[in-house]
DNA sequence: ACTTTTGTCAACCAAACGGTTAAACAAAAC
DNA sequence: GTTTTGTTTAACCGTTTGGTTGACAAAAGT
């Protein structure tokens, strides 16, 4: 196996372990076992547990952040934006279902890591979206709403059902298959729900 | 200090440490230091780290679960239910802001602990709420919606802004005071947003 | 009064942990 | 074909971890 393969192999194993157990719960030996290599190799390619963790965390952010930027930046009618976001984001998370909980936990454990891991100027593009929404409000095309709340609403309804899956499964008494169907329905349901709330009619 | 005081003192210290660092990140020595007692005392009152953790976790669930039952069980017009829930739940979480992230993380780490920690028959009362919603739909009082999605929407919009606070603070570029104001606004905003979406008008 | 139980502590322990070392091995480079 | 460079391993190391022990004192029970 080439060195690059090994490096990727380690990163894959580390991703699986870190994302399911968190930084504190993960063991270097377990990652090594999963990657089927010697524990010393982890330190040969990534100097420390912290460095290996950071590589995993940055990858996770780089998977999730772009689509969030998309909803904010893309020049497109607001309702289209919302439909594209809920559909795209829920599909994306379905492929990486451990990431949201992972990011949320590690970020609350240590909020500083966000500063180091870019996400810097969301602000500029967020201003553009504010303008778009406020214009629609002024023209009487949608109900009055603060852009901050609208973003929170859309993102919350898209992501939280993944983060709180064990709770919702228990409360709503669904098995895995049924819950997955619910998640799929949400790709369109959330957009419909939001747009119905915004429409004046 | 009496034995009961000591026991509560330990539980308070353990709650603070466990909820901010998680089971894996918490250290028994740190909990002992916070409670200003000897580490052996932790094992005298709670036999193991696991047992101490379970006491903290059960307390956390018992703080959060009743209000969730409330929205489902209480005999009350649907819109009133929703307003009471968002206002009450967001206020509650504000007093225990670490709990949602704590529960979410520990539940994903080990989904089995829910079985042990009651939340058994949510199902019966959930059926009643289904009937209530479906009746309103049939009478043409609200737009058609699956009860499961409605619950998810309300709960997600109420809780997720606490869980994802570091992300939203960064993306929306708010300081702590500004973000707290947003959270307060949501006590009424979320209910308005949901009700607007349900209304047919 | 004295015996037993309960609460508290410093010191200790074995296991597990992240990380290191030195040597073996393999692949290029000369 | 020898040297050099990069890769892999088993064994090891110091520290930290959850948990235990035994001594001891303050209550509680008799």
- Which nucleotides of chain D does any protein CB come within 7 A of? 6-11, 16-22
B1-47: which CATH number, 3.90.550.40, 1.10.3720.10, 1.10.10.60, 1.20.1050.10?
1.10.10.60
Tell me which residue of B52, B48, B50, B49 sits closest to B7, measured CA to CA.
B52
Question: Tokens standing for B11?
Answer: 């539980």
CB < 7 A to strand C: residues 13-32, chain A: 26-29
Phi-psi region of B58 (alpha: psi -120 to 50; beta: other; left: phi over 0): alpha
Give the model confidence (pLDDT) of A114-144 as tens digits. 776 666 657 677 888 889 999 999 999 999 9
Pick out the nucleotide with least CA–C1' distance to B2: C7
Residue B49 CB in 7 A reach of strand C? no
Give the model confidence (pLDDT) of B64-93 as tens digits. 988 888 777 888 999 999 999 999 999 999
- Return the pLDDT at A120: 60
Tell me which residue of B53, B153, B49 sits closest to B103, measured CA to CA.
B53
**What's the pLDDT band for B194 if we cut at 50, 70, 90?**
very high
Question: Tokens standing for B122?
Answer: 């949510």
CB B187 within 8 A of CB B87: yes
Cα angle A4, A9, A11 (rounded to 5 degrees) comes to: 95
Question: Tokens standing for A98?
Answer: 């451990």
Residue A9, helix vs strand vs coil? helix
Phi-psi region of A68 (alpha: psi -120 to 50; beta: other; left: phi over 0): alpha
Q: Which residues contact A21 (CB under 8 A, 6 or more apart)?
A: B24, B109
Q: How far apart are CA B22 and CA B103, in angstroms?
A: 9
Which positions in chain A touch B101 (Cβ < 8 Å)? 104-105, 108
Q: How far apart are CA B168 and CA A151, in angstroms?
A: 9
Domain boundaries, chain B: 1-47, 61-198
Q: How far apart are CA B81 and CA B70, in angstroms?
A: 8
- Return the pLDDT at B188: 98
Tell me which residue of B102, B62, B70 sits closest to B89, measured CA to CA.
B70
B140 φ, ψ to 5°? 75, 20
Instruction: Say which of B149, B160, B182 has its CB closest to residue A186.
Output: B149
Q: How far apart are CA A85 and CA A154, in angstroms?
A: 9
**What's the pLDDT band for B119 if we cut at 50, 70, 90?**
low
Fold entry, domain B61-198: Tetracycline Repressor; domain 2 (1.10.357)
**What's the pLDDT band for B118 if we cut at 50, 70, 90?**
low
End-to-end CA distance of chain A: 63
> Which residue of chain B comes nearest to A183, CA vs CA?
B149
Tell me which residue of B85, B65, B88, B64 sits closest to B76, measured CA to CA.
B85
CB A156 within 8 A of CB B157: yes
**What's the pLDDT band for B43 if we cut at 50, 70, 90?**
very high
Sign of CA dihedral B193, B197, B198, B201: positive
Pick out the nucleotide with least CA–C1' distance to A44: D7
Residue B200 CB in 7 A reach of strand D? no
| Mean pLDDT within B45-49 | 97
Does pTM surpass 0.85? yes
Q: How far apart are CA B167 and CA B172, in angstroms?
A: 8
Averaged pLDDT of chain A: 92
A118 φ, ψ to 5°? 40, -130
More reliable by pLDDT, A72 or A53: A53
Give the model confidence (pLDDT) of A151-199 as tens digits. 999 999 999 999 999 999 988 989 999 999 999 999 999 999 999 999 9
CB < 7 A to strand D: residues 39-58, chain A: 39-41, 44
To the nearest whole Å, the CA of A143 is away from the closest chain B CA by 9
What is the total residue count of chain A? 201
CB A172 within 8 A of CB B146: no
Asked whether this chain's domains B1-47 and B61-198 adopt the same fold, the reply is no
Reported as type and span, the H/E element at residue A186 is helix A176-198
C1' of C8 to CA of B97 (Å) = 34
Task: Please determine, for residue A1, whether its predicted confidence score (pLDDT) is greater than 60.
Answer: no
């Amino acid at each position: 196996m080439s060195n690059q393969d090994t490096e990727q192999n380690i990163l894959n194993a580390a991703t699986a372990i870190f994302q399911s157990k968190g930084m504190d719960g993960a063991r270097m030996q377990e990652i090594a076992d999963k990657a089927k290599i010697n524990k010393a190799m982890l330190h040969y390619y990534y100097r420390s547990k912290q460095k290996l963790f950071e590589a995993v965390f940055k990858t996770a952010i780089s998977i999730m952040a772009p689509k969030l930027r998309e909803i904010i930046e893309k020049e497109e009618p607001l309702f289209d934006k919302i439909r594209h976001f809920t559909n795209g984001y829920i599909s994306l998370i379905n492929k990486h279902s451990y990431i949201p909980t992972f990011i949320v936990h590690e970020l609350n454990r240590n909020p500083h890591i966000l500063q180091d891991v870019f996400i810097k100027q969301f602000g500029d593009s967020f201003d553009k979206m504010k303008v778009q929404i406020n214009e629609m409000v002024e023209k009487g095309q949608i109900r009055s709403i603060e852009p901050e709340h609208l973003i929170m609403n859309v993102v919350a309804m898209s992501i939280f059902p993944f983060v709180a899956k064990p709770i919702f499964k228990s409360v709503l008494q669904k098995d895995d298959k049924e819950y997955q169907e619910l998640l799929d329905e949400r790709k369109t349901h959330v957009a419909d729900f939001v747009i119905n709330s915004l429409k004046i009619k």
